[in-house]
């Protein structure tokens, strides 16, 4: 288990306890306007942007391209803050998880998953979730609020701090990809997610391309269209069932936006081709959605959509009403989808010893203590 040095309070886009404004999470235009309010011209905003998002500097005194008195004026009014880190855990497989705390006492988690050719950060968009998908642990959490843009960008910056990855490297990055697959439904917090992702994608800063960002949604159809038009990041759809009858039960947002409408929105998502496909996530639930007939129905549904299928072994949690399909059943399902011409990898669980896996991004202190024990013994 590793632990991080940051213990500051994190008050995104708002006056901090000492009344200074956090600059993290402001759009370029907002930063320019903010600096104009203290009489600084637009090129100063650009310099600051470089220091904050390319160099990762948190102390104005280190901004050597700015005059000393200007640095001092900035430090009087502003701060550059990260989320507070309540816990940092590292799995035997290299997966890292940070439990982040906000000033209102709410916590979310961010998870970094290293692989041979990339490193992916799983980012949360909300505290809790309103969707109540039956197999997901986050849905059982009572408190829900949206994260601000600063709280979302802050997860990326904090991970980059911990990985020692400033200034933004050209390539070979440890944090090369982002998936909006943590806690929450990103398309129910679209404005803040969009603002945060625009900051993250900005070529003069963190500079992670839209091709390396995937937004996962349970299917907020109208917002899928907006996301395509405005952000055009990769899309992942939590499909999980092939009939409205079953999907109504396990992914209740289906009652509002049924499968046909959802797939229509997918079909018209801009920029799709064989090299840029929609990922359909499908959690394998024993005797619920895992028959060969289900696999064949899935293939029929996906017809005409550049798609790949990600089969996720169900991750049980205490009291969860499902079991994971057997390995044989998963392999058979995968084969049917593969034979129809779709990539159908089975997701390997990562970071199990630190409870980093799908649907377990939950931060009750009881569960946290359990995960610390697991990490200590791992
Ligand atoms: N709300 C978004 C993103 C968060 S969930 C969405 O629904 O896509 C990220 C992924 O983890 C989704 O595909 C979700 O269905 C899946 N998931 C949630 N709980 C799980 C569990 N217990 N086992 C396996 N996958 C799970």
> Active-site residue 323, yes or no?
no
Protein residues with CB under 6 Å of any ligand 1 atom: 133, 135-137, 181, 185, 216-218, 238, 281, 283, 312, 314-315, 358-359
CA dihedral 242, 244, 246, 251 (to 10 degrees): 100
The minimum-distance atom of ligand 1 relative to the CA of 182 is: 4
pLDDT of residue 123: 97
Q: What is the pTM of this model?
A: 0.91
Inform me whether the pLDDT recorded for 93 exceeds 60: yes
Mean pLDDT (the chain, rounded): 90
Q: What angle do CA 183, 160, 231 make, to 5 degrees?
A: 55
pLDDT tens figures, 319-350: 899 999 999 999 999 999 999 999 999 998 88
Q: H-type helices in 105-148, by residue range?
A: none
- What pLDDT shows up at residue 372? 47
328 as an active site residue: the answer is no
Q: Residue 377: pLDDT band by 50, 70, 90 thresholds? A: very low
- Greatest alpha-carbon span in the chain: 71
Average pLDDT over every residue of 204-217: 98
Taking CA atoms only, the protein residue closest to ligand 1 atom 5 is 181
* Whether pLDDT at 270 is above 50: yes
Q: Hey, whose CA ends up nearest to atom 1 of ligand 1?
A: 185
pLDDT of residue 359: 57
- The answer to whether residue 152 scores a pLDDT higher than 60 is yes
Contact 349, 313 (CB under 8 A): yes
Ligand 1 atom closest to 135 (CA): 22
- Which of 123, 138, 181 most suits a substitution to test ligand 1, by most atoms within 8 Å of the C-beta? 181
Give the E-state strand segments of 239-298 in sequence order.
278-284
pLDDT given for residue 355 in this prediction: 79
Closest residue by Cα to atom 12, ligand 1, is 238
Q: Percent of the chain beyond pLDDT 70?
A: 89
Task: Identify the pLDDT of residue 17.
Answer: 57
Dist CA 80 CA 97 (whole Å): 22
* Residue 354, pLDDT score: 82
Say if residues 123 and 107 touch (Cβ distance below 8 Å): no
266 versus 16: the higher-pLDDT residue is 266
Q: What average pLDDT does range 235-258 have in this prediction?
A: 98
What spacing in Å lies between the alpha carbon of 362 and ligand 1's midpoint?
Answer: 12
Q: How confident is the model at residue 8 (pLDDT cuts 50, 70, 90)?
A: very low
| For range 222-241, the mean pLDDT | 98
> Where do the domains of the chain lie, and which CATH numbers do they carry?
21-79 (1.10.150.530), 84-373 (3.20.20.70)
Q: What is the pLDDT of residue 368?
A: 45
Does position 225 have pLDDT exceeding 60, yes or no? yes
Query: Nearest residue CA, atom 13 of ligand 1?
Result: 238
């Amino acid at each position: 288990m590793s632990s991080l040095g940051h213990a500051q309070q994190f008050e995104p886009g708002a006056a901090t306890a000492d009344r200074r404004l956090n600059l993290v999470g402001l759009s370029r235009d907002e930063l320019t306007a903010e600096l104009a309010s203290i009489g600084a011209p637009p090129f100063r905003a650009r310099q600051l942007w470089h220091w904050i998002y390319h160099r990762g500097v948190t102390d104005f005194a280190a901004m050597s391209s700015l005059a000393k008195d200007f640095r001092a004026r900035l430090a009087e009014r502003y701060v550059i803050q990260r989320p507070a880190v309540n816990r940092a855990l590292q799995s035997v497989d290299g997966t890292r998880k940070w439990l982040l705390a906000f000033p209102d006492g709410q916590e979310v988690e961010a998870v970094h998953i290293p692989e041979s050719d990339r490193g992916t950060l799983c980012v949360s968009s909300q505290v809790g979730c309103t969707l109540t998908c039956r197999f997901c642990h986050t849905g059982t959490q009572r408190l829900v609020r949206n994260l601000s843009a600063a709280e979302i960008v802050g997860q990326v910056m904090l991970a980059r701090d911990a990985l020692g990855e400033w200034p933004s490297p050209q390539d070979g990055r440890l944090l090369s990809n982002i998936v909006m697959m943590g806690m929450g439904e990103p398309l129910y917090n679209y404005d803040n997610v969009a603002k945060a992702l625009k900051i993250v994608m900005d070529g003069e800063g963190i500079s992670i391309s839209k091709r390396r960002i995937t937004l996962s949604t349970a299917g907020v159809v109208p917002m899928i269209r907006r996301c395509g038009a405005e952000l055009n990041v990769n899309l992942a759809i939590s499909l999980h069932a092939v009939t409205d009858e079953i999907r109504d039960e396990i992914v209740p947002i289906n009652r509002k936006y049924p499968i046909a409408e959802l797939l229509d929105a997918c079909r018209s998502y801009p920029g799709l081709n064989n090299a840029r496909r929609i990922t359909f996530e499908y959690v394998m639930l024993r005797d619920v959605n895992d028959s060969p007939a289900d696999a064949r129905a899935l293939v029929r549904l996906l017809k005409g959509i550049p798609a790949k299928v990600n089969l996720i072994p169900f991750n049980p949690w205490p009291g969860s009403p499902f079991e994971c399909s057997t390995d044989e059943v998963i392999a058979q399902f995968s084969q049917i989808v593969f034979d129809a011409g779709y990539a159908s990898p089975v997701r390997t669980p990562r970071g199990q010893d630190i409870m980093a896996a799908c649907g377990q991004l939950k931060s009750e202190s009881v569960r946290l203590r359990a995960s610390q024990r697991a990490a200590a013994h791992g």
